[in-house]
Amino acid sequence: MFAQRVLSANKIVNPIRPFSNGKACLDYFSGKTSTPLPQTPCIVFLDMVMKPISGLEVLRRLRNLPAAKGSILIMLSGLTDIKKIAEGYRLGAST
């Protein structure tokens, strides 16, 4: 995973936990999995185009979950739709 290599090369050693989709990410931060919740804020990479829940919706929900408080939420996308990009910032994507 490219992001993992970049983080490692820059001496960021936080654990990396990939999710197959937005629902799995939300389940983790909601405490609905057997995996323990993070003890420190996370860096979360989201794509705007995800199924079954869009990246923007995952971002909106994560901002309201206590376990994600303080986490850096980064939206990635190949989309050029300025309205969707602005919506990501409005919902709290990190800049």
Q: Name the nearest CA neighbour of 75 among 65, 53, 86.
A: 86
- Judged against a pLDDT cut of 80, whether residue 77 lies above it is answered with yes
State yes or no: pLDDT of 95 exceeds 70: no
CB-based contacts of 56, cutoff 8 Å, min separation 6: 48, 75, 84, 87, 88, 91
Whole-model pTM over 0.85: no
H helix runs in the chain, sequence order: 2-9, 22-29, 55-62, 82-90
Mean pLDDT of the region 29-38:
87
Mean pLDDT of 9-16: 78
Q: What is the DSSP letter of 37?
A: P
| pLDDT tier at 76, thresholds 50, 70, 90 | confident
